[in-house]
Amino acid sequence: MTDYPFDCSPLSPAIGLEIRGLDLATTPSAETTAVINRVFLERHVLVFRDQDMTPARQLAFAETVGEPAIYPFVKGLDGFPAITPIIKLPHETVNFGGLWHSDTTYLERPPKATMLLAREVPPVGGDTLFASQVAAHNALSGGMKQLLAPLRAVNASSKADVTRTREDRIDKDGGAEKKSFEAIHPVIRTHPESGAKALYVNRGHTVRFEDLTEDESAGLLEFLFRHQTREEFQCRVRWAPGTLVMWDNRACQHYPVNDYHGHRREMHRITLKGDVPR
C-alpha cells in the first residue's frame, strides 16, 4: 500500500493492516502516532511484528494512543496493574475469552481499544480472528437497519462467565467476592471518531434486547450473531513472539482460536479507556 508512510499490507479487504519496520519500543514521533491513529480508524486492526518490548515500553506505547484501564477480573502484572497476563497452560483445555466478542461490553464505558503482545506462543495454532462490525452493519438491508436503529441490548459479564478460564488468576488480594457487571448499549453504535455505524451486540456478552425477555430476543440475536461474523467481514492474525496487535472494540469483534492444547501461550494485554456507546 502506498497511502501510508511505512511498509504495510492489508490482511483482508474488509479489515486489518500489517505494519512492518516500526520499532514501538522507541516512542513514535507525534507525526507517526497521528498516522497510526488514522489507519487504526480506517482498518480497525493493526499488526506490528518483531516488537522487543518490556512491560514498561508496552505501557508507554499504549499511553501515546489512549489511557490504559484496569481489567476487573484478572490481576495485572506486578508493578504494571494495567497489563493483564493472558495465559493458557499446557494442561488446560479452555482458553481465555474463547468465543466471538467485543471486549467488556458489560461495562458502562467499554474500552475503545485492546493491545495484545505475544510473549510465548505455540508452534502452530492459537490464531485470532477479527470481524469488522462496520462491514457487518453496511451489509444489512435497509429494512433491518431501520428495525435495529432504536433498539438497545443488555450485556452481562455472567453470560460468558469471563472468570472461569483462569480462576487462579482472579484478583482476590482484597478478599472480595466475584463481581458481575451489566450494561445496556445501542444495538447499532456510532463511532465517536470516524462517525461510522457498527453492529454492537456479541455472542459473548449480549443477553437480550432492552424491555424484551431472553426468549423473545433469541431469534433476532441469533441472526445477528451469525451475520456479524461472516467470512467476508473477517481477517486472521497468526502470532509470533513479539507480535503486537491493536484493535478497535468500537468497530470489530474477535475470536481466539482454541486449537493448541498441550502448549503454553502467554500474551500481555492492555485495554484503553473508552466512552459511553451512542
In this structure, is residue 1 part of a structural domain? Answer: no
Annotation marks residue 254 as catalytic: yes
Choice among 137, 250, 254, 265 that is catalytic: 254
| CATH number for the domain harbouring residue 69 | 3.60.130.10
In this structure, is residue 205 part of a structural domain? Answer: yes
In this structure, is residue 59 part of a structural domain? Answer: yes
In this structure, is residue 193 part of a structural domain? Answer: yes
**Contact call for residues 250 and 198 (beta carbons, < 8 A):** yes
Separation between Cα atoms, residue 278 and residue 271, nearest integer Å? 20
In this structure, is residue 278 part of a structural domain? Answer: no
Parent domain of 90: 7-172+179-272
In this structure, is residue 98 part of a structural domain? Answer: yes
Average pLDDT along the chain, 278 residues, taken 10 residues at a time: 78 98 90 94 98 96 95 90 96 84 96 98 97 99 98 92 43 53 98 98 98 98 98 98 98 96 96 98
pLDDT given at position 160: 66
**Contact call for residues 251 and 198 (beta carbons, < 8 A):** yes
In this structure, is residue 244 part of a structural domain? Answer: yes
Annotation marks residue 269 as catalytic: yes
Residues forming a β-bridge with 131: 234, 253
Choice among 205, 208, 250, 269 that is catalytic: 269
Choice among 43, 44, 103, 137 that is catalytic: 103
Residue environment code for 31-45, b if the CB has 16+ CB neighbours within 10 A, otherwise e: eeeebbeebbbbbbb
Annotation marks residue 205 as catalytic: no
Separation between Cα atoms, residue 255 and residue 159, nearest integer Å? 16
In this structure, is residue 198 part of a structural domain? Answer: yes
List strands edge to edge, sheet with 252-256: 234-237, 128-132, 252-256
Q: Looking at the 3D structure of the chain, how many domains does it have? A: 1
Choice among 43, 44, 101, 191 that is catalytic: 101
